[in-house]
Structure 1
Amino acid sequence: MTVWSYQGAVIVVQEFDVVVVGGGGSGLAAAIEAASLGRTVALLEKGDKLGGTTARSVGSISSSNTEHQRRQGILDSTDDHFDDLRKFNSVVDAPENAVLQRILVDNVPETFRWLREMGVEFFGPVKELPHRRPRMHNVLPNSRAYIYHLERRARKLGVSIHTSTQVAGLVKENGRVSGVVCKTPRGEARFSARGGVVLCSGDYAGSAEARARYLSPGMAIVEPVNPLNTGDGHDMALDLGARILNPQLHLAGLRFQAPPPKLVTSLPPYRWLTMLMRLALERFSGSFCRPLIMSFLVTVLVPSPKMFEKGAILVNRDGERFCDEQDRPGPAVAAQPGQIAYILLDGELADTFTGWPNYVSTAPGFAYASIADYRKNRKDIFSEGPTIDELARKIGVNAQTLRSTIDQYNSSTRSNALSRGPYIALGPVRYLINFTDGGLAINDRFEVIDDDGKPIPGLYAGGASGLGGALIEGHGHHLGWAFTSGRLAGRRVAQAAVTAEIAEAAGAMPAAH
């Protein structure tokens, strides 16, 4: 440990082989991989706990050549997975990085085994078109399991984990990135990195300025799923000459508010428990497992557009209808008072939403939630009244306005009408941005590169920070990339630390590469 002067202040320098910025899935994967190779590692997370966007995800990983596939007699290949991934991406009008896509599909089977060795359990695989074979594996009991098991492994390996620690800048010395300067609860700090720094700090969905700059001015008001993802890593890398690829790409949509905590969604992800869950899901009837499945499913929080296709409408908290629900209603919801709205159905329409093909929400490959499932499991967002006035009272909107809104809708030329009680409101719903897909340009060694394609020495990236132009549409590819890119980036920077150590022992500075 040494001292260093920064902006007139004397700062203690903590010295490591590897510094990882970000404590989500990709950051934990990078830290674990580097530490497993015998390197000293610091993991810096600006939130008060680890998790990142990974802990807020649905939790699926798509992979070929898994034990789960073999148990079901499914023969698969990475070549077929690569071809099917390109089919997903064909609907997106943006450049893609086939080299990084190939790295993903070739390495995600090993990543899947690596996760299972740490105690993460999965149910599946299940099919999702245009995958030609079932590849989507769903984590049990939920995505918190990733962080639980990875954090345990990281601490066991001696990773120095620092939460509530925000990286304020990259330190560059002798032509290479050699560490970071941070703001901690105890003041300024510096962490040096012999091998380099890995940026796994997420995307920029949490920054209003970045949303306006890269997406559109109107997206500035749209709230993110993860408000901590403010593009810190992107900004620091840009200051050193890096560039962002596909900055306009993002995923946003309507979501129900998060459910209150309850026992079934707070189950600890112990290995014995998740194995029992998997065996039950695989071996017992759907009716036996359905109550448990639905308790998890209705926390997925994404309402199906099929409700609007069948005639449901959106009203704001004043009881007014404000958009054509079948024409991208999300941005209109974001412009309403409080940025909230309610989905309204009548009794006749609600009776049609009993599951596939008419469902309220779905967890891919698990099951489809009906109105009855929400009535039972999401009482916090399910309101019902025999009359419009009673429903208005329950959701806190003006009854006269709501009656007028529904009367006007029913008198329109649409064939669907809301005219038979009981009346149901689901919500509130919000329009949220899940994540952005604009990532720093990287090479196949996960080094951040500049406009000329040259590596910025000592700077690496993984996860959403280091997407590098790889289009990875479809369920399960983003998490697969997070863990896989994190592992590979951690391995590269660990190797760079060994090279630096050898050079130091020989009395020479390591060459930039």
Structure 2
Amino acid sequence: MADTAVHSTDVIVVGAGGSGLFAAIEAAEMGRRVLVLEKNRAPGGTTNWAIGSLSSSASPMQAAIGIHDTPAAHFEDMALFHGALLCRDNPELRRAFVENVPDTLKKLLDMGVVFFGPMPEPPHRVPRMHNVLPNSRAYAHALYRRARELGVDIRLKHRARRLLFERGRVVGVEAEADGLQHRFIALRGVVLAGGDFSANREMKRIYTGEEIAQADALVETSTGDAHQLALDVGAEIVNGDIVSGPQLRFVPPKVNLMTMLPPSRLLALLMKWCMGKLPQALIRPFIMMFLTTVLEPQRKLYESGAILINRDGSRFADECDKPQFAIPHQPYKEAYIIMDGLLAKRFSTWPNYISTAPGVAYAYLPDYRRNRKDIYSTANSLGALARKIGVPSTKFEKAVADYNSNPRPGTPGLLQPPFIALGPVRSWVLTEGGLRISPAMEVLSKGREVIPGLFAAGATGQGGIILEGHGHHLGWAFTSGRLAGRAAALREVA
């Protein structure tokens, strides 16, 4: 059924994640009428599941501790992260990013977002990694509030279906909501900010191959809709074969009261004060209550003797030889990390951590025991542990016995109770391929010509920039959103 009404505005943004909301804010602050179309029931997108770090030079926090840093230095250091991917990078986009991300960080501070840091991360020559408090949901909370203050019209549960293309330019978006088709006209421009395509198996199959196509997406609604909208009008995807992962990560935390609370500035400031004043033993459990990201167990666990067991109770792969490719083929596409008492003691203190974690830097086994009871199980016998995690005890005991008969070189096997299971873990992937864009965030055609009226940001508009290292993905999402929103707002009315 069609809606005969035609709605007109200055700028249309497709997607209400971090990049889309920033694009909307930038355009609205320039006095433009802005409409945001978001297919999900709530804003935030992948930003809500990010670790939460943002890397920038020339920040007030750096200046406060006497660090003099410049975008030029950041530009040089970013290249040091890329390794073999350096030849795939787009230096023009990298320069646009580093020159504008300091203002992005300052705008977030003005919106009330609280950071701690900066933290060091070699090969950055100085600390640049700023970490959000209390968790990554603070970004969408602040951005959504600011957008509404500016009068941005945010339409949730509106899925963009196609771009309206007339007289050689993009003039609007056709979207579906509640079974009705709506036509929205953009007098100045359309910004595509719909995230990556990690949940689109066919698109992954085309660009990354069959193995990657089987890995799950961190966000199930990251289906590449915005990419496809642009492809339909002649755009192309750059670096479509590059992915983050697959990575083995723990399932997300179960929703609890702490993660449901609004990420208030007062709470964030309290946490920041506590982190600077109180002993880690007191503050760690409190901070970990607010984790919303999907944490990644480190490879050293397996090198030290931990094994992976599937839901059938079987060991199915060499844990040190890309098990992330095997997990999508296991029952329920998941597995459990099995440790014994010796490994548990070892991974309770530095330098043997289970994973990195926002706010506490490194999370050890006691952190998981206290704060992730949903993925932590322990028992004094293998049979009892099998029952706790719901796997067949006979197969499980045999799998561990077989491993103990030929354990990983240099390790004794899993012999000493108590026995611990962490998980389930699943294989997650984020795609890095984005639409080819200009440094002004204009979407380019296969012939490298500007598609008039069309802009892209975030993962949708990654456009060839390589974002290795912590804090660059979020930094790019927000900064490219700002630049795309500004470019669309400045475009002459057709």
TM-score, normalised on structure 1? Answer: 0.93
Among residues 227, 247, 257, which one is paired with 1:234 in the alignment?
Answer: 227
Aligned with residue 470 of structure 1, among 454, 465, 470: 465
Q: Which residue of 2 aligns with 1:122?
A: 115
Q: Measure, in 1, the Cα distance between the counterparts of 2:292 and 2:48.
A: 17
Change (3 A) 1:187 1:287: same
In structure 1, the partner of 2:417 is 421
Secondary structure at 1:487 match in 2? helix
Once residues 270 and 366 of structure 2 are traced to their aligned partners in structure 1, the CA distance between those partners, rounded to angstroms, is: 27
2:294 maps to 1:304: no
For residues 209 and 248 of structure 1, the distance between their equivalents in structure 2, rounded to whole angstroms, comes to 13
Alpha-carbon shift at residue 22 of structure 1 (Å): 0.5
1:77 aligns with 2:73: no
Radius of gyration: which is bigger?
1
Q: Per the alignment, do residues 48 and 9 of structure 1 end up closer, same or farther by CA in structure 2, a change over 3 Å counting?
A: closer
Secondary structure of residue in 2 paired with 1:17: strand
Where 2:460 maps in the other structure, the secondary structure is helix
CA displacement, residues 213-236 of structure 1 (integer Å, 9 cap, x when unaligned): 111112222210111111111111
* Residues 120-176 of structure 1 deviation map (CA, whole Å, 9 limit, x = unaligned): 111111011111111101111111111111111111111111011000000011211
**Equivalent of 1:353, from 347, 352, 355?**
347
| Rounded Cα–Cα distance in structure 1 between residues aligned with 2:290 and 2:180 | 41
Preserved contact between residue 284 and residue 360 of structure 2 (Cα < 8 Å): no
| 1:314 aligned onto 2:304 | no
Query: What is the identity, as a one-letter code, of the residue corresponding to 1:184?
Result: A
Aligned length: 491
Matched, 1:266 2:285: no
Contact 1:204 1:231 (8 Å CA) reproduced:
yes
User: Residues 99 and 444 of structure 1 are in contact (CA less than 8 Å); yes or no, is this contact kept in structure 2?
Assistant: yes
Aligned-partner SS, 1:431? strand
8 Å Cα contact 1:203-1:438 kept in structure 2? yes
Residues 1:446 and 2:441 aligned together: yes
The answer to whether the Cα contact below 8 Å between 1:298 and 1:377 also exists between their aligned partners in 2 is: no
Greater mean deviation of Cα atoms: 43-52 or 368-377? 368-377
Deviations 1:392-427 (A, max 9, x none): 111111111111111111111533201111111111
Are residues 21 and 172 of structure 1, via their aligned partners in 2, closer, same or farther at CA, if it must alter by over 3 Å? Answer: same
Indicate if the aligned counterparts of 1:94 and 1:246 stay in contact, CA closer than 8 A.
no
1:221 aligned partner: 214
Shift of 1:301: 2.1
Superposition pairs of residues 83-122 of structure 1, within 5 angstroms:
83-92=76-85, 94-122=87-115
Q: Quick one: distance in 2 between partners of 1:271 and 1:420?
A: 46
Seen in structure 2, the aligned counterparts of structure 1 residues 476 and 32 have a Cα distance that, compared at 3 Å, is same
Whether the 8 Å CA contact 1:126–1:365 is kept in 2: the answer is no
Residues 272 and 10 (structure 1 numbering): CA distance in 2 closer, same or farther, change over 3 Å? closer
Structure 1 unpaired stretches of 5+: 1-7, 501-509
User: Match for 2:385 among 391, 410, 425?
Assistant: 391
Give the share of equivalent positions with the same residue, in percent: 49
d(CA) in 1 for partners of 2:90, 2:475: 16
Q: Give the counterpart letter for 2:21 in structure 1.
A: L
Tell me whether 1:495 sits opposite 2:490 in the alignment: yes
Contact 1:21 1:27 in 2 (8 A): yes
Deviations 1:446-500 (A, max 9, x none): 110112221001111111111110111111001000110001110011011xx21
Separation in structure 1 between the aligned mates of residue 6 and residue 99 of structure 2, nearest angstrom: 39
Match for 1:30 among 23, 33, 43? 23
Cα gap change, 1:9/1:161 in structure 2, threshold over 3 Å: closer, same or farther? closer
1:286 to 280, 283, 305: 280
Which of the residues 482, 486, 491 maps onto 2:481? 486
**Aligned twin of 1:41:** 34
Cα shift at 1:349: 1.2
Unpaired runs of 5+ residues, structure 2, are none
Q: Which residue of 2 aligns with 1:460?
A: 455
AA aligned opposite 1:482: A
Query: Which whole-Å CA distance do the structure 1 matches of 2:200 and 2:87 have between them?
Result: 23
Task: Output the CA distance in 1 between the equivalents of 2:293 and 2:40.
Answer: 23
CA 1:93–1:72 in structure 2 vs 1: closer, same or farther (change >3 Å)?
A: closer
Partner of 1:3: none
Question: In the TM superposition, what is the alpha-carbon distance from 1:279 to its structure 2 partner?
Answer: 2.0
2:325 is the alignment partner of 1:331: yes
Q: Report the CA distance between 1:350 and its aligned residue.
A: 1.1
Contact 2:295 2:357 in 1 (8 A): no
Q: Give, in whole Å, the separation in 2 of the partners of 1:237 and 1:298.
A: 32
Q: Runs (4+) of structure 1 moved beyond 6 Å?
A: none
Q: 1:215 to 1:310 in 2, by over 3 A?
A: same
Question: SS of 1:466's equivalent?
Answer: coil
- TM-score by length of structure 2 reads 0.96
Q: Deviations over 1:93-112 (max 9, x none)?
A: 65110010011111101000
Who is 2:7 aligned against?
A: 14
Q: Distance in 1 between matches of 2:454 and 2:5?
A: 22
Q: Tell me whether 1:407 sits opposite 2:401 in the alignment.
A: yes
**Aligned partner of residue 92 in structure 1, secondary structure:** helix
Name 1:249's counterpart in structure 2. Answer: 242
Q: Distance in 2 between matches of 1:27 and 1:10?
A: 25
User: Aligned Cα RMSD in Å?
Assistant: 1.6
| CA 157–299 in structure 1, closer or farther in 2 if over 3 Å, else same | closer
Q: What is the CA–CA distance in structure 2 between the aligned matches of 1:481 and 1:413, rounded to whole Å? A: 44
Q: Which residue is equivalent to 1:197? A: 190
1:389 counterpart letter in structure 2: G
Provide the residue aligned with 1:142 in structure 2: 135
SS state at 2:289 partner: helix
Aligned to 1:164: 157
For the Cα contact (< 8 Å) 1:127–1:365, is it kept in 2?
no
CA offset at residue 299 of structure 1? 5.3
Quote the Cα distance in structure 2 between the aligned partners of 1:226 and 1:282.
Answer: 33
